[in-house]
Structure 1
């Protein structure tokens, strides 16, 4: 693929509103950013909002454990598999236009999920909902990259970072509220139906503020790299499906064969993409994006921090609902302190003293490790934790924000506009895979430890939680140390 910067009028018109915005003379970029981040938040909410609704869904639809696993994870599977494809579609047909198409699909699938009459229908509609999110979400970063410049871009990326992980904790809280409210006797259905009015409003406003033009001729000429799409989609599917269902099925032989085959296809994908780039073709992910300074470290750190985030939320939900007997509402509200602090730190870290900036990311990983270990210790023995628990929750939120937000912002701040779609698709996929890996690995550890203890439920659950929290702390420590090692090299 040609690496010469584009001279077509593609990105030029969108850089002017950013300058106007900085001078306070044009509110259009602000409204555009609000629409994008609202859609981002809604899509992320649905990754987690179903967690606390799962028991109610199971009893209402007579769903098996495997059915519930697919209801929860089906969204994440299609989301992660199709993210890079969604990024390329935006690059080819226009990011604003493709964002609206994805938002329409997501909204329609949400309505279908809320009206589903059986577990099979719900699983199918959840897969469609994830596909809509995969088409919609990569355009968010691409449009931010093309609309904002300089300090305005840094602020927009900071807001994006805050929304990205706050959606995880907020999903649990909102799910608990909606299920406990049992609006008009609808039980779990509002966790999906709430997206419909929000989606319709965003579609109406988005049609007015999002760019509707097609991509530049150079982008249309790139093509969609069909073989690359097939290889990557198959590789991610073969890795994510056993991670989701392996624990439920007690890790049968097929799950290990699937993981091995997925790894092999991923290696084939990397080799094919490199050869395609050398021949002057249009690879799915431009190799120069992967070689961008700091991109490899950013990918590693994002995997680590999102694995900790996903694992922490999942196993803590299991403990407070199963071990401590919390209601869906109380379990959901458990994560509010973490979400609030994450959002506050994610929005303000750029204003902190310049002397602190270099140490923010390793400090964030360290604080995260200490705080998740603290959560396990104060809940040990079936205790409810007292006020020390909330101190630990605040530490988790601040630590995750410091590890996540600067990493993502710095990785994207210097990416060229013509590489925005590739970079956004890559990093969005990494974020989703990190969450999925965290849930699968630490969820498996929790269940295995719980089964081996065979003790009274509150005690055994707290001991299983403590084991997971120490493992999460070790993962956070690796995130900090790996950064120091790579910088020395």
Structure 2
């Protein structure tokens, strides 16, 4: 077993170029702003799910428009993460954070005021772009402002934020719908972001570090061609999944993957060319060759594909199949959020001592919870089924808390601060792509079962069971990747002197 060795912030050891001599006195205030904004932007991935029936009836949205309202946000979100991370690294993380936050508040206001489903889908794309500007800066700022045990704690808090934002969305959305009414209450789901964003804007400008750009030797170079190639590859790779609704989907949509793969190959070739020329590529070769980062990114893609799709099909089952109100549906899923928040703190603490085994244990627990939920969905209906499902989700939430923040901590352990933004962007792009794939796959299976067998309560249970099996399979894929990495590392020395940001292969956390 290989451990992640913990060093105190004051310990002697290799550090990046640009490591500050003393901790930023505003670092915890800055973190609070980052977490609040991260929570708000990630919440919009899940909070919309519970309001979908309200949107459908109010705007007359069809299944394709509903899918774009949900998945279009994730598509645009993923599209700009790496470019935003790179620009933040080169110029100013604080500036991109503030611009993205202001844009998110404006697009939230627009989303709450639209009069058609098509307009809402378009605004959601714009809203996803602004969220994508902000989020890579969050990870980069944590990497920049914190070291040692403080960094592990900060990532633990960020993991709590991810878990809460994803799982508590249905509860908050249900509460808003209960207050404002189901006919127009969905507008409040978006408009609630506006005052929060306005409060956070001046705090971000005041507390985030003014010199947010990492210092790099030589001239600054923004690889525009590389950014465009990666953006286009991301769009084509995600399109087949966001176009999947489960109801008479055209098979031709999968042809989008061909240009996506071609563009990805072109991007890789261009990046190698830029590196040979001595320029600064979008994704540095050393980042891709860092084992801890590559494994963390792959585990994140597989896990988010399995983890994110759960909540949409569970919400559809509870509201449409069992006839629960949005608030009741949210309450059923709340135990996942609570357990995820609690165990994210445990995971953030334990990963500094135990490393990759924490993630492996977490994935096993998630798999157990989802397996139990699969059995419950197929066998138990009505109120008893909802209660049993809630208990199963609580188990899965405990495991999720041990996966997200520890995996991010390990993935970024060897990443120099100078490329922290693009590294965070790559990780989060993988998460958004995985999320889009997971949502598309689980909802497609869910709707296909309903289309084939009808819409009785028992059939809704079977549809949920089928969707959960897709999620379980993706979580098991993440588990296999984590176990293979753990076995690969067995017997290796935990660190190598002189490695940036704390050692080799993700074994140490600086």
Question: Does structure 2 conserve the Cα–Cα contact (< 8 Å) formed by 1:368 and 1:396?
Answer: yes
Q: How does 1:16-35 map to 2 (within 5 A)?
A: 16-18=22-24, 26=25, 28-35=26-33
C-alpha contact (below 8 Å) 2:155/2:348 kept by paired residues: no
Quickly say closer, same or farther: Cα 1:447–1:353, change in 2 above 3 A: closer
2:36 matched residue in structure 1: 38
* 1:354–1:132 Cα change, 3 Å: closer
| Secondary structure, counterpart of 1:188 in structure 2 | helix
State the number of aligned residues. Answer: 473
Matched with 1:179 is 177
- 3-state SS of paired residue (1:423): helix
Gaps of 5+ in 1: 19-25
Deviates more, 1:417-426 or 1:459-468: 459-468
Measure how far apart 1:351 and its partner are: 4.0
Residue 320 (structure 1) shift: 1.2
Contact 1:66 1:248 in 2 (8 A): no
What corresponds to 2:494 in structure 1? none
- Is the 1:49–1:174 contact (alpha carbons within 8 Å) kept by the matching residues of 2? yes
Query: SS state of the match for residue 281, structure 1?
Result: coil
Which digits, 9 at most, give the CA deviation of each residue in 1:235-278, with x for residues without a partner? 11112122111335633243021122212211221222122212
Q: 1:352 to 1:155 in 2, by over 3 A?
A: closer
2:48 alignment partner, one of 50, 72, 77: 50
Hey, what does 2:472 align to over in structure 1? 473
- Secondary structure of 1:299's partner? helix
Query: Given that residues 382 and 461 in structure 1 are in contact (C-alpha distance below 8 angstroms), is that contact kept between their aligned partners in structure 2?
Result: no
What SS does structure 1 have at the residue aligned with 2:400?
helix
Calculate the TM-score normalised by the size of structure 2.
0.87
Which residue number in structure 2 is paired with residue 83 of structure 1?
81
Report which structure shows greater RCO (CA 8 Å, sep ≥6). Answer: 2
Aligned residue for 1:228?
226
**Unaligned ranges ≥5, structure 2:** 1-14, 489-510
- Alignment match, 1:160: 158
The match for 2:409 is 409
Q: Displacement, 1:12?
A: 4.4
Following superposition of structure 1 onto structure 2, how do residues 376-455 of structure 1 map, counting pairs within 5 Å?
376-381=374-379, 383=381, 384-385=384-385, 388-454=388-454
Over the aligned positions, Cα root-mean-square deviation in angstroms equals 2.4
8 Å CA contact retained: 1:114, 1:193: yes
Query: Aligned with 2:216: secondary structure?
Result: helix
Q: CA deviation at 1:355?
A: 7.6
Partner of 1:338: 336
| Aligned equivalent of 1:23 | none
Report the counterpart of residue 457 of structure 1 in structure 2. 456
1:212-243 CA-partner distances (Å, limit 9, x unpaired) = 34635638933321111221111111121221
Q: Quote the offset at 1:349 in angstroms.
A: 2.6
CA distance in 1, matches of 2:227, 2:350: 42
1:34-433 map, 5 Å? 34-182=32-180, 186-213=184-211, 215=213, 218=216, 221-247=219-245, 250-352=248-350, 358-381=356-379, 383=381, 384-385=384-385, 388-433=388-433
Q: Between 148-157 and 58-67, report the one with greater CA deviation.
A: 58-67
Deviations 1:8-59 (A, max 9, x none): xxx444x6235xxxxxxx4x22111000000000000111111111111122
Q: Distance in 1 between matches of 2:345 and 2:184?
A: 36
Going from structure 1 to structure 2, the CA distance change for 1:278 and 1:487 (only over 3 Å counts) comes to farther
TM-superposed deviation, 1:354: 8.1
Task: Give how far 1:131 is off.
Answer: 1.0
